[in-house]
Amino acid sequence: MTKLHTKLVLLTLASTTLLGLASPIMAQELKKTPDLTKDFSQTQASQASSFTMPSGYPEELNSLTEDTRSYVVIDQDTHKVLMEREGNKPYPIASMSKIMSVYLTYKAIEEGKIKLDDKIKTPESIVRDFTDNAELSNAGLVTDAEYTVQDLLYGIMLASGNDATTLLMSHIYGSEQEAVAAIRRQLDEWGIENYEFYTTSGAPNKYLPESYWIEGSTKDSQNKMSAADVALMAQYITEKYPQILELSSAREYTMAKDSDHPIKMANNNLLLEGAQYGRPGVTGLKSGYTDEAGKCFVTTTTENGRKMIAVVMGVQEPYSSYEETKILLDGLNKHPELYQLEGLATNLLPTQAEKEAQAAKAAAEEAASKAQAAGSKEEDVENLPNRRNNPFTNFMRSIFGIFN
């Protein structure tokens, strides 16, 4: 073997070694007898986790009523779930949906897109598709009549007017479909994910012409949400725009008061002070009723000096959602110590912004960790001992002139 061949073999061996995520209108809702027999187990309800009450929770609070399918009572200051039954399972919410339309109206006012005294003309299509529809609760709008934004807000909250809701939302967003898309975006921003929203008014698709349906929805589509998420939605709305409570606590209101077609409306919230189930701290908020939703109500109140939101859903005949709410709140008031109980779950969810910030933080931490690991490897390589300074390499250097 020549010296050149010997050098090549030795260099080859050395290289291998070194490589190695009209008359007063009341909010009637739909004129249906509740049918709560429909099985929702195949929808999100089957996928929702349940709230678990901690040790020391008063057992009698779990059996105050058997006539409400789902309910929660939430402490607004802490978001603690003080009482619940299937409170985290989505069910039809009917006209409780309308508070989202009120929220978006106040948001549009805040952004300067509309004003409370703006007048909106009623097209014939709204009267035909909503006001004249006996299946729906309506404010009683008149074709070509003009109503102010404030009139329509009262028509939504006191008369639960599907006509008022759709007219106002279509005026702001251009169509029912765009308004629903805006509602969905807002719910997403609040971190509410386990919901279905198809109409601004809460009326099921089956009562509306298909021209109002959003893409991908069907005749059976209807708004659904859990009681806990309805409470969270109501809290965001009332804290951002407390003027909604002026609407919901008004005893009566007359739309288009000085016109040829005034519409007088009365508040049918029987929890307002002086009413049948009245309480001094109640300020609102909104009822809901369809055949599948049953009787529903979201209440804003102050109990024992603390702000509360109570939501009852799926109340069966012949019982009243107002009476059921009273039973729950009366029971709660017997246990003032409950507010201090450790281990109560909350209905608060991380907002979209918080989730994005958390994801960005996690990504940054992962990148930093990888960079640190890479730097550590480079440091390890730099700190390797000099293996060239040994008797063998020194011998080869002296003979062949390699490893220099």
pLDDT per position as a tens digit, 319-370: 999 999 999 999 999 999 999 999 999 999 999 999 999 899 999 988 888 8
Residue-wise pLDDT for 113-142, tens only, equals 999 999 999 999 999 999 999 999 999 999
Residue 212 and residue 175: Cα distance in Å, rounded? 8
**CB count, 10 Å around CB of 180?**
24
pLDDT at 4 over 50: no
Whether 95 is a known active-site residue: answer yes
Whether 98 is a known active-site residue: answer yes
**Binding site for substrate: what residues are annotated?**
286
Q: Which of 80, 89, 98, 326 is catalytic?
A: 98
- CATH code matching the domain that covers 44-352, chosen among 3.40.710.10, 3.40.50.970, 1.10.10.10, 3.40.50.800: 3.40.710.10
What average pLDDT does the segment 287-291 reach? 97
Sign of the dihedral defined by the CA atoms of residues 107, 110, 113, 116, in that order: positive
Q: Which of 97, 160, 226, 287 is catalytic?
A: 160
* Model pLDDT, residue 190: 98
* CA R_g for the chain: 32
**Exposure letters 328-367 (e unless 16+ CB within 10 A, then b):** bbebbeebeebeebeebbebebeebeeeeeeeeeeeeeee
Whether 160 is a known active-site residue: answer yes
| Residue labelled with tokens 């002070």 | 273
Residue 101 and residue 118: Cα distance in Å, rounded? 17
Q: Which of 70, 80, 89, 95 is catalytic?
A: 95
Residue 91 and residue 229: Cα distance in Å, rounded? 11
Residue-wise pLDDT for 158-183, tens only, equals 999 999 999 999 999 999 999 999 99
Q: pLDDT grade, residue 228 (50/70/90)?
A: very high
Would the pTM count as exceeding 0.85? Answer: no
pLDDT at 28 over 50: no
Instruction: Say which range, 135-144, 191-200, 383-392, has the weakest mean pLDDT.
Output: 383-392
Q: pLDDT grade, residue 36 (50/70/90)?
A: low
Residue 303 burial class via C-beta count within 10 angstroms: exposed 0-12, middle 13-18, buried 19 and up: buried
Residue 154 and residue 151: Cα distance in Å, rounded? 5
